[in-house]
Amino acid sequence: MMNRTSIVIQPNKISYFKDIYNLQKIHQANLIAGISKKQLIWIGEHHLCYTMGKGANPENLISFSKEDISKVFKINRGGEVTCHMPGQIVVYLVLNLNFYKKDLNWYLRKIENLIINILAELKIKALRRNGFTGVWCDNKKIASIGIGCKRWISIHGFALNFNCNLQNFNKIYPCGIKDCVMTNICDYNSEIGLIDVKKIVKKIVQEEFSLIFVPE
């Protein structure tokens, strides 16, 4: 019988990326070693930082000062550079894909679909864009996705812009896309609050992956 139990962590304060990156790696290692069978969902926000995938092109970092460079992390996921900051909902999925489908393309499309479903609950029409990973509203990108995987245990996940400072994206080519324009949920639905959106995110993630949430 498949064990789709998962811990959910939702900090009530903004987190430093490095701390949560280490948390994911520990949880991934424990699942691989069989020390734990509980998967992990983390839903929160980060202090301003930039992350780059394993094969990311450094030329996608533009207008960076020495202070900015100190906020850049090269990490074990695919994809190019993206930005995290307060007002952006970050969701990390440390999942055992043996319980689902051992196909990373399927997994990426699954994440896109759950983001589209989250936005649908907010009465926001969103869609995929051919040739790119992520989710768009009109021609503006509202969510970015980056994943890593080892022995079919996933790491990382997605970032959904709520009311973040979009000017922080001006220092990069988001996801390596030079003409990429970013947007926020609040540009399309100004009535809903951040806490309520996080509740919807948790519900949709649970439904899409048929998870049973359990205590740590």
* Nearest by Cα to 100 from 87, 89, 88, 109: 109
Specify burial of residue 119 (Cβ count, 10 A radius: 0-12, 13-18, 19+): buried
pLDDT at 64: 84
pLDDT at 2: 67
- Secondary structure element (H or E) that encloses residue 53, with its range: none
Low-confidence ranges of the chain (pLDDT < 70): 1-2
pTM score: 0.96
Tally of CB atoms within 10 A around 150: 13
Interior angle at CA 146, CA 184 and CA 11, nearest 5: 65
Domains of the chain (ranges, CATH numbers) = 5-213 (3.30.930.10)
Q: Residues 30, 33, 39, 41: is their CA dihedral positive or negative?
A: positive
Q: Three-state DSSP class for 171? A: helix
User: Which residue pairs from 201-208 have beta carbons closer than 8 angstroms and sit at least 24 positions apart in sequence?
Assistant: 201/43, 201/89, 201/91, 201/118, 201/160, 202/8, 202/10, 202/41, 202/43, 204/114, 204/117, 204/118, 204/121, 205/41, 205/43, 205/91, 205/93, 205/114, 206/41, 208/110, 208/113, 208/114, 208/117
Query: Which residues are annotated as catalytic?
Result: 175
**Residue-wise burial string across 67-106, b where 16 or more C-beta atoms lie within 10 A, e elsewhere:** ebeebbeebebbbbbbbbbebbbbbbbbbbbeebeeeeee
